[in-house]
A and B are shown apart, each in its own frame.
Chain A
Amino acid sequence: MAVQNLQSVTAELSPEELDAAARRDAEGQANFDRVMADDSRIEPKDWMPAAYRKTLLRQISQHAHSEIIGMQPEANWISRAPSLKRKAILMAKVQDEAGHGLYLYSAAETLGQSRDEMMDALIAGKARYSSIFNYPARTWADMGAIGWMVDGAAICNQVPLCRASYGPYGRAMVRVCKEESFHQRQGFEILLELSHGTPEQKQMAQDAVNRWYAPALMMFGPPDDDSPNSKQSMAWNIKRFSNDELRNRFVGMMMEQVKVLELTLPDKDIRFNEETKKWEHGPLDWDEFHEVLAGRGPCNSQRLERRREAHDDGAWVREAAAAYAAKQQAKQSMKTKEYAA
């Protein structure tokens, strides 16, 4: 489904048409500026700068891909979940993630790219998704740590996105955030049960928290002085808080909750800075972050391969569904014609 570029086209136009196009662009820009100043919303049919469209398309599709790839580490434990109740909760959670992927792909489609095109880019390794999902889910406690920390970080990131200037994205995020908060709670509950269980269970929980802590903090993106796109995104009312601001807020949240869990965070340097009134954390290994981002993480190849395999194995099914739909439509129009005749 190719959606027309809503930007005014400037090629092969008569002088009068060029004038009209320029006028539309100027009016569109003025409206866009007004919307930004009022902190109001841009909708799919509104004029928007090409760079705004491109930035959003990249961000929303990456977000959708993250949901889809993010299903894998947790799907890895569905078959082995240690109680039927946990199995049911985990299934529902991974299913929610597929749903989030669906809304987000739909939101991205309003910007002019089809889900198929986005999926192809993902499978070809041309599109990014959150690096966190390139880490393995080794034990059951990882289901707790992913829910509590990874979904927790996602919520910190995403709650402000509910106010993003692009309408379809903001609205999708409202629903996503509601479900994410359940996800975080179930993760916390898994860890709570483990940390109050047998010594082996408590050890399993601590080990998972240790492994997911730094990758979760790095989900907020590079430090502010190394985040070139942040400023523009903030000017466009897409991003509301800087990476470091959100990261610090998240650290504070975890510090409170980890006490209830009777576990520890693997960072001796966490402290509340009385002067800035902000939480601070120890140094993070940004080299590792860039390595994983560059494709050299523990599961990069496996995650993409699984997605590719599902996509390729399902090709005949999608073709069948399309062929069947076309045949049904043809039958329907035949009937209509017969009826008319």
Chain B
Amino acid sequence: MTATAQAPSQIGEVPTFEVRLKVRRYLPPEPAQPLPYGAPAPQAEAYWEEFTVRVHGTDRVLDALHKVKWEQDGSLTFRRSCAHGVCGSDAMRINGRNRLACKTLLKDLDPTKPITIEPIKGLSVLKDLVVDMEPFFASYREIMPFLVTSGNEPTRERLQSPEQRARYDDTTKCILCACCTSSCPVFWNDGQYFGPAAIVNAHRFIFDSRDSGAAQRLEILNDKEGVWRCRTTFNCTEACPRGIEVTKAIAEVKRAMITRAY
């Protein structure tokens, strides 16, 4: 079919409107000298602060935060990079839900109420919306997130059928933003739990036909802080900005552990 395409939606007409942001702030007390690398930050009180900004209809929560930082209060601190949902820097709790600020359009939120923005939960807050990601990445590193192979390396590529490739496609999409792990009530209450993101990345290799490290990974995840802590609340699946069926992936890892079929 080569029919002429229809006119698109009227994206040229971009209305502006005001939004109120209610941001959870935390400014660590300042030492007289810079802290040495790795030293724990001294404690201070967190508080709420409200800002009002005028935004466009295509703007996202990240744009509103930038507007505050660039025009009102330069000390407001958050991580961000790509600004279109692929780098995973700007996970935060927006109106009580874990989301990426750069993928959340302001027009999709209720304009009559202030938008609440908090750091993701379960990881210690370092400043405003910035949390300590080290424990999150430490869990990820523990599950051997790399291809483990045995035997001689082939000269060309390893063969893998489209069906075998499709088997683990969903979990290759993970961007390590921590939306899932920091939405998990088990993780909130028990910082030792590996958390959904680490299990998702284990899944990505366990079900890869080229990989032979599944037994080792399942051993790691069979630990008391492993997959069995999952209570199947589906928070992680709802939180994933990449649409990964996280809870399903965890269930598949559990099943593989019992049946040893992968």
Please say whether chains A and B are actual partners in one complex: no
Chain B residues in the interface with A (C-beta under 8 A): none
